[in-house]
Amino acid sequence: MTIKSLEDLRKIKEIAKQSTSARHENGTQVIVGMGTCGIAAGARTVMTAILDEISRRGLQNVSVLQTGCIGMCQKEPLVDIVRPGEPRVTYGNVKPEDIPRIIIEHLVNGRIVTDLVVAKI
- 8-30: per-residue pLDDT in tens? 888 877 776 665 444 445 689 99
Stretch among 2-6, 24-28, 66-70, 89-93 having the lowest mean pLDDT: 24-28
In this predicted structure, the answer to whether residue 104 has a pLDDT above a threshold of 70 is yes
Q: For the residues 100-118, what does the mean pLDDT come to? A: 96
**pLDDT per position as a tens digit, 84-98:** 999 999 999 999 999
Cα 17 to Cα 112: distance, rounded to the nearest angstrom: 25
Mean pLDDT value of segment 88-116: 96
CATH numbers and ranges of domains, the chain? 21-120 (3.40.30.10)
Mean pLDDT of 110-116: 96
Q: Calculate the average pLDDT of the chain.
A: 88
What distances in angstroms separate CA 30 from CA 5, 46, 53, 93, 99, one per listed residue? 22, 11, 12, 15, 11
Q: Read off the pTM.
A: 0.78
